[in-house]
Structure 1
Amino acid sequence: MPQPIHPTHDDLSSGATASAGAAGATMRRSNARYRILALLAIGTMINYLDRTVLGIAAPQLTKELGINAALMGLLFSVFSWSYVASQIPGGLFLDRFGSKLTYFLSMTFWSLFTLAQGLVHGIAPLLAFRLGLGVAESPCFPANSRVVATWFPQSERAMATGTYTVGEYIGLAFFSPFLFALMGAYGWRSLFYVVGAVGLVFGAIWWICYREPRDHPSANAAELEYIEAGGGLTHRKKDEGDATTNEKGTKSTKSTKGGFEWRTIGRLLKHRQLSGICLGQFAGNSTLVFFLTWFPTYLATERHMAWLKIGFFAILPFIAASIGVMFGGTFSDWLLRRGTSVNVARKLPIIAGLLLASTIILANYVESNVTVIVILSVAFFAQGMAALGWTLVSDIAPDGLLGVTGGIFNFAANLAGIITPLAVGFIVAATGSFVGALVFIGVIALIGALSYIFIVGDIKRIVMTE
């Protein structure tokens, strides 16, 4: 994969680079990048707790505020409206101001909107705070991808992406019992107070602890050399007008301060790599959104499980998904280290995961609740395997446009948060059953697999030519 050519006026002189290389040959490599990865994993866990805690509070909240099921479905969906609409602006903000400030402001404001939901006494302010939560969370995953692309060589990016992505599932799998107990003891409002306060505290920790690689006190020259040799340290702000020439002699433009044009979005989407992974991620997210929204209702109404059983069984697919995320990332990096092509190493876990996720349809044809949970756990495990799309964003994004590329990708992926809950709700309302809904989820997963097989093409960095 061609690597971008760094300008001669880069912040390290050639002599300093040579010294770093000599030092890297003799000193033991530090592991500061793993500390940064821990920050991303915790931040992602809090992110998903904040966006999904409404589902845990829903039984008490709907009674106190007099909200019917249809209106509750709207509240679940409205987060994704502002979240999706803010992806491009959030990506632009990220490219302009960098990872540290963007992530700090994002977490601080989304935590404030979460906390504020505990203060509401009517539907209008709750709706407004859900919209605000979506805006505030919008830069989070593009920032995650930017940090991984900066801090990790290509051979470790799938592992890194899988590690922070698993936070989506761990928080829900392992903290749900605590949150249910908290609600039972102190009421639904306490959930928003506690989760919001945790986010505010962690936002301060992020601001204190996060540094770019060359500024991190614990990253030595050997680690910096290792990261840069693997394609890291490349996504940082450039001087206005900076450009390089690619291997064919074509001038390629990089992100420049204030130089973004909206037509860049269309130009990016013309590249099959980006349009293909956007469709594939939409498909994978459709399975995820089903589990985040309709899964408990499915167990209660279609499978007629008691609430105690739902509380136990609902944890199992999330645990399976956590394992799937880690397995998919580790397997992808293992293939890459063994000399497998980037195309196979990145695509194989995603395609296999989406194909296996489509087996969710089989739940329509079994009677045993235990067997149903096994099928759903396998499908969610597979969805976790397929959650490597952000790794591909790091691999294909033009240098200096990772924030915008990630925003486009996240925009497409999170359309599932709007479309899937509404589609499932319409199918269930029209048929009185979840049979068609599970078929819908399975077919979408198959479409995602076909997108990676036939549309994505070679995994290589997009070159934006003038």
Structure 2
Amino acid sequence: MIGLVTLGTILNYLARSTLSVAAPTVKAEFGMTTEQYSWIVMGFQAAYTVMQTVAGAVLDALGTRLGFFLFALAWALSNMAHGLATGWQSLAIFRGFLGASEAAAIPAGTKTVSEWFPDRERPLATSAFQMGTSVGNMIAPPLVVFCILSWGWRSAFMVTGVLSLLWAGLWWFAYRAPEQHPCLGGGEKRLITDGQIGGRQAGDRPVGRPANRREVLRSREFWSIALPRFLAEPAWQTFNFFIPIYLVATWQLDLKSIALWAWLPFLAADFGSLAAGLLPPLLMRLGAGMVPSRKITMTLGALLMAGPACIGLATTPTAAIALFCIGGFAHQMLNGALITLCSDLFDKRTVATASGMAGSIAWIGGLLFTFAIGQSADIFGYSPLFVALALLDFLGAGLLWMLLRPRLAVHKSPGEYHD
């Protein structure tokens, strides 16, 4: 099941990364400025931001199987529509449709993990599907460049869209919840159920009531996840949407060079996702609690963001790519810890709603930072922006430790973390 979710996440991020790789070609054909390109990116971000909350609620209402299928079908068709664009305005509209439909990926992955995995296996399961985000980005440069050189830039959107269509069909026929899966034995069902109840400290228990947005929003635990994600998301979106443009603007690399180098930060991000899955269980074996193990992992990732902050000091494109690699590793390490916390602190009937709302807040951060890039990159360059990304993650780590503290008294709010 987690392999199926991971494949869907790969294709989700492959679809959204198609434009960033094709951007230098599309910008040249349509005569776009960096500011106009930033408006296209913000069209995606704005729709994604609004729809993450809606997508989470839809997944909790319709169930993971039907809900994710409908969203996957929509993002495949929206991505293919990019090939019909006639200018940056129509491209922004299609980008908005893509953002609205792709918003379900992370809430669906989080909900699947909460349904299928006992507590002790959730960090590794989350890191598995989160690796799909960087694998999709890693595949995009060579595949999209191949399509552009062979058949033109419009073909790249058709190819990546068809791949998502095929996956949507696979998901519909293959996915079932554990209690409905015909191949799952009673022993494994008990292992999943018992592992979601046992193995927790009293303070780690999630809410057990149906999804209620107001209750989730009132919980301190929600904001301890949402605010660090708000501060961390700008880094990942900058890596996703602006690495190829940065390489062209700063180092004058051609399309083939982008295909050769631009995937490396996302390979490093895979290892960051893996670290987010392996480090918390190790810390727990050394005596850390479930929640503290996630907090330590997030903090280590935030500290490593000092790497991309130094990109302005790079003297070669190779050095810049190496620092991007540190950034990719760092972000996926800290983000994996934050996403896992959502499945730790909220019940499986509320987790997609909580994850979706946290994702909306995170994407507001990404949207605002993209606006800053569009207004300042052509004037001041990218170096100050990369320093700002590191500072935001340092602040996010501080907020996580400040907000997610053990409480001595027992309260009734959803997802509250007690000790």
Structure-2-length-normalised TM-score: 0.90
Match of 1:412 among 349, 353, 361: 361
> Equivalent residue of 1:255, what SS?
coil
Task: State the alpha-carbon separation in 2 of the partners of residues 45 and 348 from structure 1.
Answer: 27
**Residues 95-104 or 421-430, more deviating:** 421-430
Structure 1 unaligned spans of 5+: 1-35, 234-246
- The answer to whether the Cα contact below 8 Å between 1:155 and 1:336 also exists between their aligned partners in 2 is no
Aligned-CA RMSD value: 2.5
State the structure with more CA Rg: 1
C-alpha distance 367-315 of structure 1, shift in aligned 2 (>3 A): same
Match of 2:189?
224
Letter in 1 for 2:53: I
Task: State the alpha-carbon separation in 2 of the partners of residues 232 and 108 from structure 1.
Answer: 35
User: Superposition pairs for residues 379-398 of structure 1, below 5 Å?
Assistant: 379-388=327-336, 389-398=338-347
Task: State the alpha-carbon separation in 1 of the partners of residues 411 and 349 from structure 2.
Answer: 11
**CA-to-partner distance for each residue in 1:103-153, whole Å, 9 max, x for gaps?**
000000110111111123244432222111111122221111111001001
C-alpha distance 336-462 of structure 1, shift in aligned 2 (>3 A): farther
Match of 2:60?
95
Match of 1:423?
372
User: Superposition pairs for residues 5-404 of structure 1, below 5 Å?
Assistant: 36-231=1-196, 254-255=209-210, 260=212, 264-265=213-214, 267-337=215-285, 339-388=287-336, 389-398=338-347, 400-404=349-353
- The answer to whether the Cα contact below 8 Å between 2:17 and 2:140 also exists between their aligned partners in 1 is no
C-alpha distance 399-170 of structure 1, shift in aligned 2 (>3 A): closer
Task: State the alpha-carbon separation in 1 of the partners of residues 17 and 242 from structure 2.
Answer: 12
Across the two proteins, how many residue pairs are aligned to each other?
406
Letter in 1 for 2:363: N
Letter in 2 for 1:194: V
Task: State the alpha-carbon separation in 1 of the partners of residues 387 and 80 from structure 2.
Answer: 37
Task: State the alpha-carbon separation in 2 of the partners of residues 274 and 77 from structure 1.
Answer: 25
- The answer to whether the Cα contact below 8 Å between 1:255 and 1:399 also exists between their aligned partners in 2 is no
**CA-to-partner distance for each residue in 1:376-429, whole Å, 9 max, x for gaps?**
211221112112222111111145222221111111111233112112232324
C-alpha distance 122-459 of structure 1, shift in aligned 2 (>3 A): farther
C-alpha distance 56-366 of structure 1, shift in aligned 2 (>3 A): closer
Q: How far did residue 272 of structure 1 move? A: 2.2
- The answer to whether the Cα contact below 8 Å between 2:37 and 2:88 also exists between their aligned partners in 1 is no
C-alpha distance 339-222 of structure 1, shift in aligned 2 (>3 A): farther
- The answer to whether the Cα contact below 8 Å between 1:427 and 1:436 also exists between their aligned partners in 2 is no
Q: In proportion to residue count, which structure has more helix?
A: 2
Structure 2 unaligned spans of 5+: 415-419
Q: Say whether residues 1:439 and 2:373 are aligned partners.
A: no
> Equivalent residue of 2:335, what SS?
coil
**CA-to-partner distance for each residue in 1:132-179, whole Å, 9 max, x for gaps?**
111112222111111100100110111011000111111221342122
Q: How far did residue 40 of structure 1 move? A: 0.6
Task: State the alpha-carbon separation in 2 of the partners of residues 99 and 425 from structure 1.
Answer: 36
Q: How far did residue 45 of structure 1 move? A: 0.6
**CA-to-partner distance for each residue in 1:202-227, whole Å, 9 max, x for gaps?**
10100000001011122111111111
Task: State the alpha-carbon separation in 1 of the partners of residues 125 and 411 from structure 2.
Answer: 22
Relative contact order (alpha carbons < 8 A, sep ≥ 6): 1 or 2 greater? 2
C-alpha distance 458-299 of structure 1, shift in aligned 2 (>3 A): farther
Letter in 2 for 1:83: Y
- The answer to whether the Cα contact below 8 Å between 1:392 and 1:459 also exists between their aligned partners in 2 is no
Task: State the alpha-carbon separation in 1 of the partners of residues 412 and 196 from structure 2.
Answer: 15
Letter in 1 for 2:97: G
Q: How far did residue 180 of structure 1 move? A: 0.5
Task: State the alpha-carbon separation in 2 of the partners of residues 363 and 115 from structure 1.
Answer: 35
Q: How far did residue 93 of structure 1 move? A: 1.3
C-alpha distance 176-311 of structure 1, shift in aligned 2 (>3 A): closer
Task: State the alpha-carbon separation in 2 of the partners of residues 303 and 454 from structure 1.
Answer: 41
Structure-1-length-normalised TM-score: 0.81
Task: State the alpha-carbon separation in 2 of the partners of residues 399 and 108 from structure 1.
Answer: 24
- The answer to whether the Cα contact below 8 Å between 1:325 and 1:385 also exists between their aligned partners in 2 is yes
- The answer to whether the Cα contact below 8 Å between 1:396 and 1:459 also exists between their aligned partners in 2 is no
**CA-to-partner distance for each residue in 1:179-234, whole Å, 9 max, x for gaps?**
2111111001111111111111110100000001011122111111111111179x
Task: State the alpha-carbon separation in 2 of the partners of residues 392 and 102 from structure 1.
Answer: 23
**Residues 91-100 or 337-346, more deviating:** 337-346
Task: State the alpha-carbon separation in 2 of the partners of residues 364 and 329 from structure 1.
Answer: 31
Q: How far did residue 95 of structure 1 move? A: 1.5
C-alpha distance 310-54 of structure 1, shift in aligned 2 (>3 A): closer
C-alpha distance 463-79 of structure 1, shift in aligned 2 (>3 A): farther
Letter in 1 for 2:183: S
- The answer to whether the Cα contact below 8 Å between 1:152 and 1:232 also exists between their aligned partners in 2 is no
Task: State the alpha-carbon separation in 2 of the partners of residues 423 and 451 from structure 1.
Answer: 23
Task: State the alpha-carbon separation in 2 of the partners of residues 419 and 148 from structure 1.
Answer: 30
Letter in 2 for 1:426: Q
- The answer to whether the Cα contact below 8 Å between 1:294 and 1:421 also exists between their aligned partners in 2 is no
**Residues 387-396 or 124-133, more deviating:** 124-133
C-alpha distance 443-122 of structure 1, shift in aligned 2 (>3 A): same
